[in-house]
Structure formats: structure tokens, C-alpha cells
Amino acid sequence: MNVEVDPLIEALYYWSDVSGVLLMGIIGGTLARQRGYDIVGFFFIAMFSSLGGGMIRDVLINRGTVAAMSQPEYLYLAFAGALIARFIYFKGRTWDYIQSHGDAVVSALWAATGTVKALTYGLPLIPCVMMGVFTATGGSMIRDICMGREPAVFGDNQPTVIPAVACSAVVLVANSLDSLAWGMLVGPVASFVLTMLGIWAGWRVPARQEWAPLNDTAAQVMVLARKAEDKSRAVGRRLEPTKLRAWRHQQMEKALQRRIEKQVRAGRRRTEAASDVSDFMEAFAEDVAEMHQDPTPDAAESHGFLDGIGVDISGDSYENYDEESQQLSLDGSKVQRDMLDMILADEKLTDELVERLVKRYEERNQG
């Protein structure tokens, strides 16, 4: 892919590029002085600061010789910056101002340079943006790593990568509109403005460690699911005892109906047999109601003909049936519930239970 660049803009970029190499060499040398490095450290840190990003870009593109090696003026300028920093100690507010603003200008220009070079070799859009970002920030990352520091682009949270991405995006959009020259002018300006927002207005890239929207959403879903499950269990606990008691009474009524039929076949009048059963059921209901009013563990053993049956006729053991009460309930109550359910599930056993209850009812009335 052939990318034509206006000669004037190309010349402007070239002189800005070499000036940036010198400035970044001075910045790297100044950092080496602050860390107490010798002259070798000055040269290496200056070289990494000023040429590292371009080296990464050219190695990744893998087309020809790395520019810093084929154009020796870049190395000369980087080492010159190291020597300047070795003989002049740049410090103070004025130097901080020059360093921050000069770095912003150079990074903006290098982001555009890296993007244009990637376009020249026909790279896709995302790699073009990557080349712009690496050219602008790669040198500082290598420098910080070699100095044993966390790269500023990671931990400082000042906008450095985002302005480079913005510059690359502007250049790419302009190139798609056949206005690359405008993109090479507007892109660095946009990058510089975003960087200045971080310096002047204190804009920072958010870095909340606990922020994880998917995790938060999953946690909220889990909480809602637990609430729904607890609610459904609560509803189930309220409904289950009612159904069980209804089933129990239904089984008892069937057994009593079979008893009536048995007595009728034995020659007794149906009305008399039904009347006895009705009286029995009234007494049974009264005793069960008294057991509901007295929900003590020994209630089943203190009310009329239900005394000593050994099973939970009333269904009180199912009231407030939750995990806590289940853990606190006596083992005997569970045995009684299971025994009663087993008896009522079998017609023969249910008939025997009814016979015993009726017999006790008759004995109580006779007494």
C-alpha cells in the first residue's frame, strides 16, 4: 500500500522526530542521574527512552532494517541527549514543565508516525493503532522496566495510551477519507490536548480494583436466586403441612367409610353406623383442636383417646417446618411423622388405626 505524504508535512515530522529523540535522550539521562547510574547507565536509559518505541514498531512490522540502525543520526542524537544530561543537571519546576509538555508533543507526533508507517506497509486497522501506541509509549515502558520501576503507562493512571490511540484513530479516519495530511496535523493535536487534560485538569484513567460488572451482576443474580428459593421454600413450608393434613384426614375418612360399609354388611343400620362415625369425628376434631392450642412436645400424650397412639395425628410437627426447627426438633417427632405417613398409605394399617381410635373413643365414653 502506497501512502503519499505531503513533502512539507514529511519534513516537519522529520525535524520534530529528531528533536524528540534528543529531548527523550535528555529525559532518559536525567532519570539515570536521579537513580545514581554511571555513564553506561546514562547511555542505555537515554537510548531506550528515545528509540525503544520505534525499535519495537520496526521489529513487529518486520520490513527492512530497524530505522534507528539504518539511520545513525538517531543513535547520535540519543547519545547526545545522554551526554547533555550527564553534564547538566536538569531540575526544578521549569524543567518539570518542559519535560511534561515536551513529552506530550513528542508522544503525539510519534503516535502519528507509527500509524503512518504501519499504513505504508499495508497493516490492518488494529495493528496500525498498535504500532502508533508502541511508537509513542514503548520507549518509556522499556526504560521503566530496565530501571526496576512499574511502567508509568500502567500504574500512574495518567492518560498516555489513550491519547496515542486517539491520534492513531484520527489518522486512520483521515486516510480513509483521502485526507492523510489533515490527519497527521489533527491527530497529534488531539493527542496533545488529551495528555494536557491529565496534566492540567488532573484527569486520570479509572483503576478501581473491585470494579467487575459481570461479577457484580452474577452476584446480584445469585442473591435474587437465593431470595426466590427461600421464598419458594417458605411457600412450600406453608402449603406442605396443609396438604399433608388434608391427605391424612382424607385417608381417615376413607377408612371410616370402609368401617361403615363393614358394619352395614354385618347387619347394622347405616344411619346408626354413620351416626357413630360422626360422633367419633367430632370428638377427634375437638382433641386435635386442643392439641393445636397446646403445641408442647407432650401434647399428643395428654388429650383423650389420642393418648399413647405414638403418631402425630394433628400434623403439628409440620408447623414452622424450616431448617432451623428441623435441626432442633426431636428425633421422635420425625419417627412419628414417618410412621403415620406409612400407616395412612396402607388401607389395612389405616383401618387398624381407626379401629383402635374408635375403641378408645368408646372406652372413654363408657368410662
pLDDT of residue 309: 47
C-alpha torsion angle, residues 359, 360, 363, 367 (rounded to 10): -170
Q: Measure the CA–CA gap between 92 and 99, rounded to whole angstroms.
A: 11
Where do runs of H (alpha helix) occur along the chain?
7-34, 39-61, 67-70, 73-87, 93-120, 125-146, 152-155, 161-176, 180-200, 213-265, 270-293, 323-328, 331-344, 347-366
Spatial separation of the C-alpha atoms in residues 159 and 109, rounded to whole Å: 16
- Provide the residue count of the chain: 367
Question: How confident is the model at residue 299, as a pLDDT?
Answer: 46
- Structure confidence at residue 268 (pLDDT): 82
Q: Quick check: 89 and 33 in contact, CB under 8 A?
A: yes
From first to last of its 367 residues, the chain has per-residue pLDDT tens of 556 666 777 787 888 888 889 999 999 999 999 889 999 999 999 999 999 999 999 999 988 888 888 888 999 999 999 999 999 988 888 888 888 888 888 899 999 999 999 998 889 999 999 999 999 999 989 998 999 888 878 766 677 889 999 999 999 999 999 888 899 899 999 999 998 888 887 777 766 666 667 766 766 777 777 777 666 655 555 555 666 667 777 777 888 888 888 888 888 888 888 887 787 777 776 765 555 455 444 444 444 444 444 444 444 444 444 444 444 444 455 566 667 677 777 888 878 877 887 787 777 777 6
Rounded to the nearest angstrom, the gap between the alpha carbon of residue 53 and the centroid of all alpha carbons in its chain is 35
CA 109 → CA 46, 112, 263, distances in Å? 19, 5, 108
What pLDDT does 287 receive?
66
* pLDDT computed for residue 25 by the predictor: 92
C-alpha of 297 from chain center = 48
Alpha-carbon dihedral angle through residues 98, 27, 136, 75, given to the nearest 10 degrees: 130
Q: What phi, psi does 316 have (nearest 5°)?
A: -60, -30
Say if CB 317 and CB 336 are below 8 A apart.
yes
pLDDT at 38: 92
Q: Which amino acid is at 129?
A: V
User: Interior CA angle at 60 toward 58 and 62, to 5°?
Assistant: 65
Asked if 132 and 164 count as a contact pair (C-beta separation under 8 A), the reply is yes
